[in-house]
Amino acid sequence: MSESMVQIRNVTKVYERGKQKIEVLHGLTFDIPKGDFVALMGPSGSGKTTLLNLIGGLDQPSSGEISVGGNRIDRLKSGELAKWRANNVGFVFQFYNLMPVLTAEGNVELPLLLTKLSAAQRRKNVAVALNVVGLSDRAKHKPKELSGGQEQRVAIARALVSDPQILVCDEPTGDLDRKTADEILGLLQVLNREHGKTIVMVTHDPKAAEFARRTLHLEKGTLVEQAA
């Protein structure tokens, strides 16, 4: 395959809960190549969400190295990480996490407020993103006026609008019915196959994992098998 998008080298994550120290990830080492669509699976408490957060630059490892897109993100400070996230990662959450006070358009435009684009340019990019996810006709609706699946599409559009290299998804279909879930997963596939986005997706649903190219299994903080 192509070069690595994500390189994990001996990464450990330890949480402190009061006086207790809990090691959630134990010396993980693996690669995710560019253009891959990986499903991260594992039982509750396996650390899959923790790993996802590290790859997405939402948190820092306790030890080890993480490179994403050639950047050593374990070395970045909080302010620099924020900037890095803005330019390089797109997030999709289980509960969509849209701003209820903004329209679909407004929500998708949010990340662009961090750029130097003019208002006109921002609007253009938003329109393109909404088009890709097939929601152009719902642009002016507020989240409470949209169905679950439509909300998730808006979230995906928002994740795309800054043209990031990698999409990080945490249980993106966890709150949707079967049919809608399949639609969303299909959309992710399109983004991967036709638009070349690298996607890392945490899921507990084996059917969802089938949409990915490969699956990594995590158990108690270590990789157990790599199935293609």
Using CB under 8 A as the criterion, which residues of the chain lie in contact with other proteins when the complex forms? Answer: 49, 53, 56, 58-59, 78-79, 82-87, 91, 93, 97, 99-102, 105-106, 109-111, 113-114, 119, 158, 162
69 or 111: CB nearest other proteins? 111
Closest distance to other proteins from the beta carbon of 82 (Å): 4
> Cα separation of 108 and 110, whole Å?
6
- Of 72 and 83, CB closest to other proteins: 83
Q: Any idea of the CA torsion for 1, 57, 210, 44, to the nearest 10 degrees? A: 140
| CB 182 to other proteins: min, Å | 26
- Taking the complex as a whole, how short is the minimal distance between the CB of residue 192 and other proteins, in angstroms? 21
86: part of which helix (H) or strand (E)?
Answer: helix 78-88
**CB burial of residue 189 (10 Å; 0-12, 13-18, 19+):** middle
To the nearest whole angstrom, how small is the minimum distance from the Cβ of residue 214 to other proteins? 25
Pick 46 or 53: Cβ nearer other proteins: 53
Cα three-residue angle 16-78-162, rounded to 5 degrees: 125
